Amino acid sequence: MRVQMLGLCRFSYVGLRGYQTRHDSYDERRAYLYEPGRLARRWFWFTQVALPAWQAQSDADFTLVVMTGPDLPEPYLSRLQQLCEQMPQLRLELVPPMERHLQACHAAIAPHLDRSADVIGHFRHDDDDAVAVDYIDRTRRDFRKVKGLWKAEGRLSLDYSRGLMMRLDGQGMQVTPRLCHNMGVALTVFLRPDAPETALHFDHSKIGMWMPGVAVTKPLMFVRSIHGDSDSGDMGPGQGWQMTPEQIDRQLWQRFRLRRDGLEQAARALPG
């Protein structure tokens, strides 16, 4: 059974729905998203936190669609185009502002669906989070173990629940180990190739309303960033678990290709 792994990452996309922070007009939304300091910070999160593990995936057979608007200010539009030229797994989709956010997400994903695949593993990825370097490989292997559940309904979620909550600003970094179910990051939604939905069509916090789900609690699989520009600014429900600072720093590098010192130094240079 061939699985296409297909993800969507929204980078400052000007849409009126789909986020917890809301605006009444496209102009208000655009002004908020395109504020120069905010764009500089989002570029930092995307390139310094999210991208390293995608570049280091042990299974390189995946597609991550980066969705933004055609009027994304320079130099960020050109930088995104250059990144997608350098990394074949990244595909840039310029989607005009749309009120119906799910329709916009589907417009970004649809050109990249492999209709010849047996199943599509859809995932969402926020531009400030990270998944482990073996996320794609483990997802494919673990799906094979539970594919009978998918065959019964044509829908299945596979959730990697063990992660790190990272608060990072000019004052330094705080990392909290956390076991959280269906956070959205490192959560894969398996659908048939002809399904009209993407991962964004299902509220990850209520995903059990639409499909059966499997939670995999090991190994460490995600980093979720919490900062002033976060759409959701808290850790949410979950259980803590213990790691020493040395273990955290070692796992940040081994699992996500992140270095504490480098991130803290770069964060200090960001505009406030």
CATH of domain 3-268: 3.90.550
pLDDT tens for each residue of 183-216: 999 999 999 999 989 998 999 999 999 999 999 9
pTM, to two decimals: 0.93
pLDDT number for residue 21? 59
Q: What is the 3-state secondary structure (H, E, C) of 214-244?
A: EEECCCCCEEEEECCCCCCCCCCCCEECCCC
199 class by beta-carbon count within 10 Å (0-12 exposed, 13-18 middle, 19+ buried):
buried
pLDDT at residue 247 is higher than 80: yes
pLDDT number for residue 180? 94
The sign of the torsion formed by the CA atoms of 144, 211, 67, 186 equals negative
pLDDT number for residue 9? 97
pLDDT number for residue 147? 96
pLDDT tens for each residue of 145-178: 999 999 999 999 999 999 999 998 888 899 999 9
pLDDT tens for each residue of 3-53: 999 999 999 999 766 555 565 678 888 999 999 999 999 999 999 999 999
The percent of residues in the chain predicted with pLDDT above 70, rounded, is: 93
CB atoms near residue 30 (< 10 Å): 18
Asked if 10 and 101 count as a contact pair (C-beta separation under 8 A), the reply is no
pLDDT tens for each residue of 86-102: 999 999 999 999 888 89
The answer, yes or no, to whether the previous bond of 52 is cis (omega within 30 of 0) is no
Cα 195 to chain centroid distance, Å, stands at 21
Q: Which residues contact 33 (CB under 8 A, 6 or more apart)?
A: 12, 13, 14, 39
Q: What is the mean pLDDT of residues 250-266?
A: 96
So where are the chain's domains? 3-268
| pLDDT tier, 141 (very low <50, low <70, confident <90, very high otherwise) | very high
* DSSP designation for 73: P
The percent of residues in the chain predicted with pLDDT above 90, rounded, is: 80
